[in-house]
């Protein structure tokens, strides 16, 4: 199986940024653990702070892999363009969030992407990514 993880803006700063919300672990460390846990799954990782680059990556992988797990960061709440890209591709896409966005500011309660996704997982810390992966693997 081949799964693409995509992190959007500011998620390159995991482990550094707002640790009380996002924790102490940087994504590369977490990714290593995830790959060890699922050795038979090819887990590709891409991070960008640029909306168009995220869209390009969805187009690139979304017709020839088994799924996409995306944490689009703040673009979740604003980006019709990323929602359209998700709707355009064939691979199932799961939206994830590290924090429980529903416990936070009201502007984080709405997702532009969710309606185009297979499902949404939020609030389990870094484990949100694994839970999404688990779903795609169990198809």
Catalytic residues: 22, 97
Among 99, 114, 120, 124, binds ligand DQA (CB under 6 A): 99
| Beta-carbon count within 10 A of 33 CB | 12
Say if CB 38 and CB 137 are below 8 A apart: yes
Among 23, 38, 81, 108, binds ligand DQA (CB under 6 A): 108
Among 62, 67, 73, 92, binds ligand DQA (CB under 6 A): 73
Nearest distance from residue 97's CB to ligand DQA, in Å?
4
Question: Per-residue string for binding with ligand DQA, 17-56, x by CB under 6 A?
Answer: ----------------------------------------
Q: How far is CA 139 from the centre of its chain?
A: 18
Q: How far apart are CA 118 and CA 115, in angstroms?
A: 8
Q: 47 or 91: whose CB is closer to ligand DQA?
A: 47
Using CB under 6 A, which of the segments 39-47, 62-70, 91-99, 131-139 binds ligand DQA? Answer: 91-99
DSSP 110: -
Of the candidates 135, 106, 129, the residue with the CA atom closest to the CA atom of residue 30:
129
Q: Which DSSP string do the residues of 50-80 spell out, in sequence order?
A: -HHHHHHHHHHHTTSSSEEEEE-GGGGGT-H
Half-sphere exposure of 44 (CA within 13 A, CB side): 15
Residue 71 binds ligand DQA, judged by CB under 6 A: yes
- Under rule CB under 6 A, which residues in 118-137 are in contact with ligand DQA? none
Footprint of ligand DQA (CB under 6 A) = 10, 71, 73-74, 76, 97-99, 101, 108
């Amino acid at each position: 199986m081949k799964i693409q993880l995509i992190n959007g803006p500011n998620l390159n700063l995991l482990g550094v940024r707002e640790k009380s919300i996002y924790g102490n672990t940087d994504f590369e460390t977490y990714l290593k653990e995830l790959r060890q846990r699922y050795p038979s799954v090819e887990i590709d990782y891409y991070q960008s702070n640029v909306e168009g680059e995220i869209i390009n990556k969805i187009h690139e992988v979304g017709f020839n892999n088994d799924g996409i797990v995306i944490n689009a960061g703040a673009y979740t709440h604003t980006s019709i363009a990323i929602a359209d890209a998700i709707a355009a591709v064939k691979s199932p896409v799961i939206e994830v969030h590290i924090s429980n966005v529903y416990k936070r500011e009201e502007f984080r309660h709405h997702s532009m992407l969710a309606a185009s996704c297979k499902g949404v997982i939020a609030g389990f810390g870094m484990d949100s990514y694994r839970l999404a992966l688990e779903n795609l693997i169990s198809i």
